[in-house]
C-alpha cells in the first residue's frame, strides 16, 4: 500500500495526525487523501478542527504525531511554492496597490509574475480598472476577490481554500465558484473547507467531515448520500392517491408530498401503485438527505456518547 501518495494520483496524503493544546485534543487521528484534480471538501461545524488540520498540512503548526505528504513528498520549505493557501483569517497590506500586492505575494512564492498575467487575472474578475488602487480603497467583496487571486497567482498545483465564500455577496460568490470550477478543469487539486455544507454539495467530488477533532464521514459525496438515504420519495401528483401500501408516514410539503417507506418497499413499488390508480404524477424523486441532515443525524448520535 502506498501511504505517501508518491507516483500516484494523490495530491495530499494525511496519515493519523493528532494535535493537543494543553488538555484539549483539537485533532484526533485524522487520515484522508486528496486525489489530483478533484475538489475535496473538508467540512464540519465551527471549531471542529478544520483550520488546525489545514495548518498542519501547511506546516504552520507541527502535528503531535502523524504524517502529511504533499504532492508525494514530506513538507519542505519549497513545498510552499506549489501551494496556494487562502486562510480563514486573511488580510492584505492596506497601503499596497492591487498590482504591488499580487507581485509581492507571488515573489514570496519564489515566482516572478509578468504584468501580463496580473492583468489577465484581474480581467477575469473584472477588476482591471482597479489595478492601481490601494487595498484599503477596495470594498470588502473586491478585497476578497483580490485575496483569492493572491492565492492562485503563482499557478499552484494544490489550492487550499478555508471558508472562501465568507464575506461575499451572491454575485461575487458566483464569480468565485466559476473560478474554482475553472481551476478544477485546469487539473488543479483543490481542498475546500467550510461549515456551510450546501456549498460542498454543489462543488465537491469527495469529502471529509470532521466534528470535535475526529472523522465523522469520509468518501465520495454521492456514495455518502446513498448510504444515508432515508427511505423516502418526493412525489407531486394530481388526483386521488388514497391509501398506499408500504407507506409508514406521509408529509405534505410545499407543492409535493414526502412519503416514508417501510424497509420492504422500494420507490418503484410506490410509483407502480400510483400509476395503477391513474394518478397523474408530475414529479417523482428518490429522497436524498442533505449533508446537513446527515451531519445532524451523526453528530446527534455521537453527542449521546455512543461513539
Partner 1 sequence: MGKIKTIFKRELLNTVKRKSFILVTVAFPLLGLLVIGGIGFFQSAEEGPVNDIRIGYVDEPGDFNGNLTYGNVTLVPQEDWQSAFDNMSNGLISQFFVIPRDYMANGNILRYTFSREVDVPYEVYNTIEMFLLNNILEGKVDSSIANRVAYPLFLSNFTLSSGGEVSDQQGGFASVIIPYIFSLLLVMAIFTSSGFLLQGLGEEKENRVMEILLSSVSSTQLITGKVLGLGCAGLIQIGVWLVSARILADMASTSIGGILSGLSIPTDYLIVSLIYFVTGYLLFAIIMAGAGSIGATARESQQFSTIFTLMAVVPFFFMIQILESPAGALAQFLTFFPITAPITVIMRMAVIDIPIWELGVSIAIMVAAIFGSILLAAKIFRTFLLMHGKTPKLGEIIKTLRQA
Q: Which residues bind partner 1 (CB under 8 A)?
A: 55, 58, 60-61, 77, 80-81, 83, 85, 87, 89-94, 104-105, 107-110, 150
Q: Which is nearer to partner 1, 10 or 83 (CB)?
A: 83
* CB of 86 vs partner 1, minimal distance in Å: 8
Distance of CA 31 to the CA centre of its chain: 17
Complex with partner 1: residue 194 or 273, whichever CB lies closer: 194
CB of 253 to partner 1, least distance (A): 43
Nearer to partner 1, 33 or 151 (CB): 151
Alpha helices in the chain (DSSP H): 50-57, 98-108, 115-124, 140-152, 170-185, 197-203, 221-227, 267-276, 291-301
CA distances in angstroms from 280 to 116, 266, 269, 272, listed in the order given: 59, 20, 16, 12
In the complex with partner 1, the residue whose CB is nearer, 77 or 254, is: 77
Distance between CA 21 and CA 44 in Å, rounded? 20
**Apex 67 CA angle, 63 and 72, nearest 5:** 135
End-to-end CA distance of the chain: 28
| Complex with partner 1: residue 154 or 206, whichever CB lies closer | 154
Q: What is the DSSP letter of 113?
A: P
Least distance (Å) between residue 188 CB and partner 1: 16
**Residue among 108 and 280 whose Cβ is closer to partner 1:** 108
Q: Which is nearer to partner 1, 117 or 292 (CB)?
A: 117
Closest listed residue to residue 155, CA positions, set 101, 192, 127, 118: 118
The least distance separating partner 1 from the CB of residue 89, rounded to whole angstroms, comes to: 5
All three cell numbers of 179, joined, read 473560478
> What span, in angstroms and rounded, lies between the C-alpha atoms of 202 and 183?
15
φ and ψ at residue 79, rounded to 5 degrees:
-55, -35
Amino acid at each position: 500500500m502506498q501511504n505517501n501518495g508518491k507516483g500516484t494520483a494523490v495530491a495530499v496524503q494525511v496519515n493519523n495526525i493528532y494535535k493537543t493544546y494543553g488538555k484539549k485534543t483539537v485533532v484526533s487521528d485524522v487520515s484522508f487523501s486528496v486525489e489530483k484534480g478533484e475538489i475535496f471538501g473538508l467540512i464540519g461545524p465551527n471549531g471542529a478542527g478544520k483550520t488546525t488540520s489545514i495548518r498542519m498540512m501547511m506546516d504552520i503548526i507541527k502535528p503531535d504525531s502523524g504524517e502529511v505528504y504533499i504532492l508525494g513528498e514530506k513538507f519542505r520549505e519549497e513545498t510552499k511554492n506549489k501551494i496556494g493557501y487562502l486562510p480563514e483569517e486573511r488580510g492584505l497590506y492596506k497601503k499596497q496597490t492591487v498590482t504591488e500586492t499580487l507581485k509581492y505575494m507571488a515573489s514570496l512564492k519564489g515566482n516572478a509574475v509578468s504584468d501580463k498575467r496580473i492583468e489577465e487575472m484581474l480581467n477575469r474578475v473584472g477588476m482591471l480598472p482597479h489595478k492601481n488602487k490601494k487595498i484599503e480603497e477596495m470594498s470588502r467583496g473586491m478585497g476578497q476577490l483580490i485575496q483569492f487571486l493572491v492565492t492562485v497567482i503563482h499557478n499552484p498545483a494544490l489550492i487550499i481554500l478555508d471558508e472562501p465564500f465568507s464575506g461575499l455577496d451572491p454575485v461575487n460568490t458566483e464569480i468565485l465558484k466559476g473560478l474554482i470550477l475553472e481551476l478544477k478543469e485546469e487539473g488543479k487539486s483543490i481542498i475546500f473547507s467550510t461549515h456551510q455544507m450546501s456549498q460542498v454539495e454543489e462543488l465537491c467530488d469527495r469529502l471529509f467531515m470532521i466534528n470535535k477533532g475526529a472523522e465523522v464521514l469520509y468518501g465520495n459525496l454521492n456514495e455518502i448520500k446513498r448510504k444515508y438515504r432515508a427511505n423516502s420519495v418526493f412525489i407531486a401528483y394530481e388526483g386521488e392517491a388514497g391509501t398506499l401500501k408500504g407507506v409508514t408516514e406521509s408529509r405534505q410539503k410545499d407543492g409535493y408530498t414526502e412519503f416514508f417507506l417501510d424497509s420492504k418497499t422500494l420507490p418503484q413499488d410506490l410509483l407502480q401503485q400510483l400509476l395503477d390508480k391513474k394518478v397523474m404524477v408530475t414529479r417523482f424523486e428518490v429522497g436524498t438527505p442533505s449533508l446537513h441532515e446527515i451531519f445532524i443525524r451523526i453528530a446527534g448520535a455521537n453527542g449521546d456518547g455512543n461513539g
